[in-house]
C-alpha cells in the first residue's frame, strides 16, 4: 500500500481516499496513503451545490481526491472536503498517486531481490529519494536517466545501487526531447565548400566533448544553403545549452572565415 512517512496528513494537503460508509449527512473515507486512517467527509463539504443526500454525490467503494480541512492530532481525527478540490488539483494528485504506486512496486521488486522488506526499502531508499528529489518516483526516474550518481547523491546504501539501476532501466522509459535550429550559410569564396564545412563541423567537435550517452548532436543539410542542427537529450536544459553553444561557435567561425551566416530556431 502506497504510504506517506507521517502518521497524519497536514491541513490543506490533497489525499487519496476510498469511501467506506455513507449516510445522509456525511461519509467515512479510508485514506489510502495513511495506512487506512479513516477521515470524515461532512455533507457541507461534499459539493458547492445543495446536498440533499450525500449518497447522491459519493458511493461506497468510490475512490476520491479530497482536501484536508481539519486535523486533531490528539484524537487522530481528520476532516476532509470534496468541494474544495479543483479539477487541476484532482488531476495533479491522481498523477502523483500513479507515480507513487509505480515507485512502490519497483521498491518491492528490488527489496525482494535483496532479501529485504518493503519497509526496509522505504527506510533505506524511498524516504532518502523523497528528501533529495521531492518524490520517490522522480528519484528513480532520474536514476534511469543519469545513473548511479543520482542514488549516491541521495546517500542510498551501496548494496541498493546496482539492483536499483538494473531494475529502473527495465521499467522506466527514458524519454528524450529533440530541439533544432537551421543555419543559412552563403559565400562566394573559391574555397566556400571547405569554409562551410568548417563552420558546421568545428562547433560539432567542440560541443560533443563530454556529453553523456543520452545526449547527441547531428548536423545535416536540408538543401543548400540551409543546414539543420539537431540536439537530442533526456535533459531539456542540457539540450538547449548544447544547441546555444553550437550556434554561438558557428557564428564566430563564420565571421572569421567571411561566411554569411543567419540562424532560424525551430518553434
**Domain end: 69, 85, 101, which one?**
85
The reply to whether 253 falls in a domain is yes
**Claim to verify: residue 41 and residue 120 sit in the same structural domain:** no
Q: Which structural domain range is residue 54 located in?
A: 14-85
- Using one digit for the tens of pLDDT, what is the confidence trace for 37-89? 999 999 899 888 877 778 878 999 999 999 999 999 999 999 999 999 999 99
- Using one digit for the tens of pLDDT, what is the confidence trace for 6-15? 999 999 999 9
**Claim to verify: residue 203 and residue 182 sit in the same structural domain:** yes
- Count CB atoms within 10 A of the CB of residue 5: 11
Split into its structural domains, the chain has a count of 3
User: Which long-range contacts does 210-215 make (Cβ < 8 Å, 24+ apart)?
Assistant: 211/242, 212/146, 214/145, 214/146, 214/174, 214/176, 215/239, 215/242
| pLDDT at 111 > cutoff 90 | yes
Q: What is the CATH number of the domain that holds 150?
A: 1.10.150.190
List Cβ neighbours of 190 (8 Å cut-off, separation of 6 or more): none
Q: What angle do CA 206, 212, 231 make, to 5 degrees?
A: 65
What is residue 94's predicted lDDT score, i.e. its pLDDT?
A: 95
**Claim to verify: residue 96 and residue 78 sit in the same structural domain:** no
Report the alpha-carbon distance of residue 33 to residue 39 in Å, rounded: 12
Q: How far apart are the first and last CA of the chain?
A: 43
**Domain end: 59, 85, 111, which one?**
85
Is residue 181 within 8 Å of 200, Cβ to Cβ? no
Is residue 19 within 8 Å of 66, Cβ to Cβ? no
Interval 246-265 mean pLDDT: 93
Question: Please, is 157 exposed, middle or buried when counting C-beta atoms within 10 Å of its C-beta (0-12, 13-18, 19+)?
Answer: exposed
**Claim to verify: residue 75 and residue 33 sit in the same structural domain:** yes
Regarding pTM above 0.85, the answer is no
The reply to whether 5 falls in a domain is no
Interval 128-153 mean pLDDT: 92
The reply to whether 4 falls in a domain is no
Q: What angle do CA 126, 128, 129 make, to 5 degrees?
A: 65
**Claim to verify: residue 75 and residue 131 sit in the same structural domain:** no
Smallest Cα–Cα separation from 235: which of 175, 170, 165, 169? 175
| pLDDT at 27 > cutoff 80 | yes
List Cβ neighbours of 53 (8 Å cut-off, separation of 6 or more): 24
| pLDDT at 26 > cutoff 80 | yes
Amino acid at each position: 500500500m502506497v504510504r506517506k512517512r507521517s502518521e497524519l496528513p497536514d491541513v490543506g494537503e490533497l489525499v487519496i481516499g476510498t469511501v467506506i460508509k455513507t449516510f445522509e449527512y456525511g461519509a467515512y473515507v479510508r485514506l489510502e496513503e495513511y495506512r487506512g486512517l479513516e477521515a470524515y467527509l461532512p455533507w457541507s463539504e461534499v459539493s458547492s451545490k445543495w446536498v440533499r443526500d450525500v449518497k447522491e454525490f459519493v458511493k461506497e467503494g468510490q475512490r476520491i481526491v479530497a482536501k484536508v480541512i481539519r486535523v486533531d492530532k490528539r484524537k487522530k481525527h481528520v476532516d476532509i472536503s470534496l468541494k474544495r478540490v479543483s479539477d487541476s488539483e484532482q488531476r495533479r494528485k491522481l498523477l502523483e498517486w500513479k507515480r507513487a504506486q509505480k515507485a512502490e512496486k519497483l521498491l518491492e521488486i528490488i527489496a525482494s531481490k535483496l532479501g529485504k522488506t518493503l519497509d526496509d526499502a522505504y527506510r533505506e531508499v524511498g524516504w532518502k529519494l523523497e528528501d533529495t528529489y521531492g518524490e520517490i518516483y522522480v528519484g528513480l526516474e532520474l536514476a534511469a536517466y543519469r545513473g548511479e550518481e543520482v542514488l549516491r547523491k541521495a546517500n542510498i546504501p551501496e548494496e541498493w545501487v546496482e539492483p536499483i539501476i538494473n531494475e529502473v532501466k527495465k521499467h522506466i522509459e527514458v524519454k528524450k526531447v529533440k530541439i533544432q535550429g537551421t543555419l543559412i550559410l552563403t559565400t562566394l569564396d573559391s574555397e566556400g565548400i571547405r569554409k562551410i564545412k568548417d563552420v558546421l563541423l568545428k562547433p560539432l567537435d567542440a560541443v560533443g566533448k563530454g556529453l553523456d550517452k543520452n545526449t547527441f548532436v547531428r548536423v545535416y543539410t536540408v538543401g543548400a544553403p540551409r543546414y539543420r542542427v539537431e540536439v537530442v537529450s533526456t535533459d531539456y536544459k542540457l539540450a538547449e545549452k548544447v544547441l546555444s553553444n553550437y550556434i554561438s561557435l558557428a557564428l564566430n567561425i563564420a565571421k572569421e572565415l567571411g561566411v554569411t551566416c543567419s540562424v532560424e530556431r525551430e518553434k
